[in-house]
Amino acid sequence: MDLDQIRADFPMLSRQIKGRPLIYFDNACMSLRPQAVLTEIQRYYTEMSACAGRSNHRLARAVTEAVSAVRESVKNFIGAKLAEEIIFTRNTTEGINLVANSLELKAGETVLISDKEHNSNLVPWLKLQRTRGIKLAVVKSTPDNRFDQVRFEQALTQERPKLVSWVMTSNLDGVTNPIETITQLAHRAGALVMVDAAQSVPHQPVKVTELEVDFLAFSGHKMMGPSGIGGLYGKKTCLDKMEGFLVGGDTVVSTTYTDYQHLPLPEKFEAGLQDYAGIMGLGAAVDYLTKIGWDKLKSHESHLNQIISQGLREINGLKIIGPKDPKLRGSIVAFYLEGVDPHQIAALLDEAYGIMVRSGQHCVHSWFNDRGIQGSVRASSYFYNTEAEAVSLVEAVKAVRRMV
DSSP state of 169: B
Which of 290, 307, 342 corresponds to the end of one domain? 290
pLDDT score for 53: 85
Active-site hit among 29, 51, 238, 363: 363
- How does pLDDT run across 310-361, given as a tens digit for each residue? 999 999 999 999 999 999 999 999 999 989 999 999 999 999 999 999 999 9
pLDDT score for 17: 87
Gap between the Cα atoms of 400 and 397, Å rounded:
5
Q: 300 and 254, same structural domain?
A: no
Nearest to 224 by CA among 383, 31, 356: 31
Is 380 within the bounds of a domain? Answer: yes
Gap between the Cα atoms of 403 and 101, Å rounded:
49
Pairing, β 215-219 against β 192-196: parallel
pLDDT score for 100: 98
pLDDT score for 296: 95
Is 43 within the bounds of a domain? Answer: no
pLDDT score for 245: 86
Q: 205 and 69, same structural domain?
A: yes
Q: 250 and 107, same structural domain?
A: yes
Count of the separate structural domains present in the chain: 2
pLDDT score for 18: 85
Q: 108 and 14, same structural domain?
A: no
Torsion angles phi and psi, residue 377, rounded to 5: -100, 130
Q: 338 and 195, same structural domain?
A: no
Pairing, β 192-196 against β 163-167: parallel
Is 35 within the bounds of a domain? Answer: no
Is 325 within the bounds of a domain? Answer: yes
CATH code at 10? Answer: 3.90.1150.10
Q: 192 and 107, same structural domain?
A: yes
CATH code at 263? Answer: 3.40.640.10
- How does pLDDT run across 213-239, given as a tens digit for each residue? 999 999 999 999 999 999 999 999 999
**Contact present, 294 and 204 (Cβ < 8 Å):** yes
Q: 259 and 209, same structural domain?
A: yes
The H or E element spanning position 260 is: strand 260-262
Which of 262, 290, 318 corresponds to the end of one domain? 290
Name the residue range of residue 364's domain: 3-27+293-403
Query: In terms of residues, how long is the chain?
Result: 404
Is 33 within the bounds of a domain? Answer: no
Which portions of the chain are predicted below pLDDT 50? none
Q: 393 and 282, same structural domain?
A: no
Q: 242 and 117, same structural domain?
A: yes
**Contact present, 99 and 215 (Cβ < 8 Å):** yes
Which of 290, 306, 338 corresponds to the end of one domain? 290
Gap between the Cα atoms of 99 and 232, Å rounded:
9
Gap between the Cα atoms of 324 and 197, Å rounded:
23
Q: 145 and 17, same structural domain?
A: no
- Active-site residue flag, 51: no
Q: 198 and 92, same structural domain?
A: yes
Is 247 within the bounds of a domain? Answer: yes
Is 38 within the bounds of a domain? Answer: no
Q: 212 and 65, same structural domain?
A: yes
Is 42 within the bounds of a domain? Answer: no
